[in-house]
Amino acid sequence: MSSIVDIFLILLDLVWYLLLAQVILSWLTVFGIRNDLLRQITLAVSLLTQPILDPIRKALPRTGSFDFSVLAAFILIYIIRAGLQVALR
């Protein structure tokens, strides 16, 4: 049972890093850094994170130009990790 939870925790870490990469890549785009490599990496990261963020975006109220879905995803990942770690004790 512990190895399944460990694999799930690793997947949560991977999702966390992908979300962090998406945040950093969006900042680079906002600051005017644009090239083909950055565009391809942004597209790949976006394709991987959209299935996670789209349901969160639908659940959150509209806030104009601010997107709090990544923040909500970070909080959910933290809560899930904490719950799993407490359950394993």
pLDDT digit string, tens, across residues 64-89: 888 899 999 999 999 999 998 888 77
d(CA 5, CA 19): 21
Domain edges within the chain? 2-88
For residue 34, how many other CB atoms are within 10 A of its CB? 10
pLDDT cut 70: percent of the chain above it: 99
d(CA 3, CA 8): 9
CA-closest candidate to residue 82, choices 3, 1, 22, 5:
5
d(CA 89, CA 6): 13
Instruction: Report pLDDT digits (tens) over 39-66.
Output: 999 999 999 999 999 999 999 998 888 8
Residue 40, both tokens: 């391809």
